[in-house]
Amino acid sequence: MSNISLNAGPSVSSSTSTSSPRKKILVVLSSADHVDVKKPDGSTVQHKTGFFLKELAVPLRKLLEAGYEPVFANPKGNEPSLDPMSDSLLWYPTSPSSVNEDRKLLEEMKETRGFKTPMRFKDVTAEVLDMCAGVFVPGGHAPMQDLGDDAELGRVLTHFHGALKPTAVICHGPIALLSTRPEIVLHNKATDPDGPGLFPYRGYLVSCYSNREEKANEWMWWGNLEKNCEAALREHGVEVQTAVVPLMEKVVVDREVVSAENPTSAGRLGEAFVEMLRKVERGGSLLE
């Protein structure tokens, strides 16, 4: 089991101090450092990737400022890889200094919050889940490699869905929702075989990295992904909503799920997620 502590770690510079115990947020990441890209000649190459810096750091900072404590988890318990393409001023056109702030926050997470040694999904017990007020899945292409078919993640996300706990996903992060499909979770012996037989997020309104946006990446790579996030979600009955213009801001809230299309939407996603968490704390319903 990972040696991550579930107690609040030292306060980072952007967090708000509080005398009460900090509520936990499970932050779900990939264990992959690449995504498979199929070339026109039929060969497959491994394109280096990971989590997207802005999509992790911006919502995470808002959670810390609101008094929440991240608990990091991924399939293998290895240190998550950073998508090198995301570590660029390109994604911070109106505030170039923000990239350094996000880099600093990431280093603080490594040193003080267990980011280097995340929990494995299989070690996220019912006790840990009960401690978590919500779950957050950032993007980057890495989730496309290992999150959509992970039975242990399906068990974890099924808990948040069943308890109507706020669930935030961004860009390629929404592919993780597919891990809750019956054909995936029922292969996990820890899952009740008499549980729900339908995909829990069928019919949900969800935003994600669009097919049009993905085409730009595939053009740069001169190859195609095995599946695109938008197409995969639609195939399983998710009602995908995307921006009129690629890379424009798009955030969608449906019941307990708040989703965002791309890195441009990271700030609004974080704000909406915190609002949902606060609403639940006040005794409000996410079905209203």
pLDDT tens, position by position, 207-244: 999 999 999 999 988 999 999 999 999 999 999 999 99
Domain locations in the chain as residue ranges: 23-281
Q: How many Å apart are CA 102 and CA 86, to the nearest integer?
A: 11
| Residue 274 in tokens | 């915190």
Judged against a pLDDT cut of 70, whether residue 12 lies above it is answered with no
Between helix 266-281 and helix 53-65 the angle, nearest 10°, is: 30
- Do 80 and 51 touch, CB atoms closer than 8 A? yes
Strand duo 224-225 + 119-120: pairing: unpaired
- Do 268 and 251 touch, CB atoms closer than 8 A? yes
- Do 179 and 191 touch, CB atoms closer than 8 A? no
Q: How many Å apart are CA 4 and CA 184, to the nearest integer?
A: 27
CA 197 to chain centre: 24
Domain range 23-281, CATH class: alpha beta
- The side-by-side arrangement of strands in the sheet containing 44-48 is 44-48, 34-38, 224-225
pTM (2 decimals)?
Answer: 0.89
Q: How many Å apart are CA 33 and CA 31, to the nearest integer?
A: 7
* Residue in the structure block whose two tokens are 């599946």: 227
| Residue 94 in tokens | 């109106």
Judged against a pLDDT cut of 50, whether residue 10 lies above it is answered with no
Amino acid identity, position 105: L
Judged against a pLDDT cut of 50, whether residue 110 lies above it is answered with yes
Judged against a pLDDT cut of 60, whether residue 285 lies above it is answered with yes
pLDDT range class, residue 197, cuts 50, 70, 90: low
- Do 24 and 71 touch, CB atoms closer than 8 A? yes
Judged against a pLDDT cut of 80, whether residue 261 lies above it is answered with yes
Identify the pLDDT of residue 186: 83
Identify the pLDDT of residue 273: 99
Per cent of the chain over pLDDT 70 is 89
Nearest to 32 by CA among 112, 136, 144: 144
pLDDT range class, residue 256, cuts 50, 70, 90: very high
pLDDT range class, residue 94, cuts 50, 70, 90: confident
pLDDT range class, residue 194, cuts 50, 70, 90: very low
Judged against a pLDDT cut of 60, whether residue 189 lies above it is answered with no
Strand duo 205-206 + 239-240: pairing: parallel
DSSP of 97-121: THHHHHHHHHHHHHHHS-TTSPEEG
Judged against a pLDDT cut of 70, whether residue 1 lies above it is answered with no
Identify the pLDDT of residue 288: 75
Identify the pLDDT of residue 107: 98
Rounded to the nearest integer, the mean pLDDT of the chain is: 91
